[in-house]
Amino acid sequence: MSARALIALAVADFRERVRRPAYAVTLLAAVGLACLAVPSAASRWVILDVGGYRGVYTSAWVGTATALAGALWLTTGGFYVVRDAIGRDERTGVGPLLAATSLRTPTYLLGKFLSNFLVLASMVVVLAVTAPLMQLARGESFAVDPVALLLPFAVMTLPPLALTAAAAMLFETVPLLRSGVGNVVWFGVSMAFLLAGQGRHAPLGGFGVRQAADSMRVAMAEQGIGVRAREFSLGLTEVKEPLRTFHWDGFTPDGAFLGGRLLFFVLALAVALLPVLWFGRFDPARRLLGAAAEGAQTEGARRKQRDGRRPSRRRPPCSAPSRRASRAWAGCSRSGGSSRASCASSPRGSRAGGGSPRRG
């Protein structure tokens, strides 16, 4: 596998996508998501609610709230943004051209996976750029801490999006999931993943909600604010009154949590390479073999159907006599009973009528 070819394929596909008007729409959607994650102080629509409280809009709180919102919505919606990369190559004729080159199937699949991930990561970059602007716009804290602001995006948002990028490519290589059925299936799968990823025992640490929530509760307890363990809400919800505030300096991820983040990327690479087992990479030879096999099966089914409709013709238990013997027997039948006996006893080469065979 050539690293240069892999990077060139991923970058070329990414550049082709960012030139489309739809990509600008996705970036605007990311900006709108960042605005929702940091609502005004008097707003009753919030993204992050900790028992009726929210953190002061510092870099740590703004970065964490925006990163969790991005992980929550881009994991599901990002799939529909990046899918159809392989199908587009097939429709535009790029796929058959790549099949004629020495590019190997694993390189092609990894290139498409990296391209999907770059598109989703670019949306995360827009979120990360918009977050400090929202912090300054809300005016509760003007001290911008780059580490506290960007760390949540690196450990909370990007790892789940790697799985989304791999799943989008995997679905394109399965004929049943390539159609609208795949959209419905992914919606159900992503909803289950979102619910499981927010639990205390989420696999691989989930979205990091437990780590952030535990750190917030500790900070609130130090400030004399009592919050029960279940009073934590992530998602766009409406509250009865504006949230009160507390000060939070962010959380420090431990080694186990960072190890789970790395396993997200390892799992995403495994999912991206799984279609190597069946993906034909637009190879005409594989398509011809598949079409020939399918045609043979269809022709066999048609023959069985035709044979089933024809009436069965059974031969008599004894084979019919030859044409010569039939004529001889007919002559013997006309010549009378005594002649029949002589015909029956005559050699095979004798005339019909009982005479002796000719001799030269």
- Tokens encoding 327: 């004529």
DSSP string, 62-78: HHHHHHHHHHHHHHHHH
Q: What pLDDT, on the 0 to 100 scale, is given for residue 315?
A: 52
Pick the closest to residue 237 from 65, 48, 35 (CA basis): 48
- Tokens encoding 40: 């005004």
Q: What pLDDT, on the 0 to 100 scale, is given for residue 353?
A: 44
Q: What is the pTM of this model?
A: 0.73
CA atoms of 283 and 256, how far apart (whole Å): 43
Q: What pLDDT, on the 0 to 100 scale, is given for residue 229?
A: 58
- 144 and 135 Cβ atoms separated by less than 8 Å: yes
DSSP string, 113-147: HHHHHHHHHHHHHHHHHHHHHHHHHHTS-----HH
Q: What pLDDT, on the 0 to 100 scale, is given for residue 339?
A: 45
Pick the closest to residue 247 from 283, 229, 223 (CA basis): 223
Structural element, H or E, at residue 45: strand 45-49
For residue range 89-126, list pLDDT tens digits in order: 778 777 677 767 777 888 888 989 999 999 999 999 99
Which residues in the chain show pLDDT less than 70? 1, 95, 99, 228-230, 281-360
Q: What pLDDT, on the 0 to 100 scale, is given for residue 107?
A: 86
CA atoms of 128 and 144, how far apart (whole Å): 12
Q: What pLDDT, on the 0 to 100 scale, is given for residue 346?
A: 46
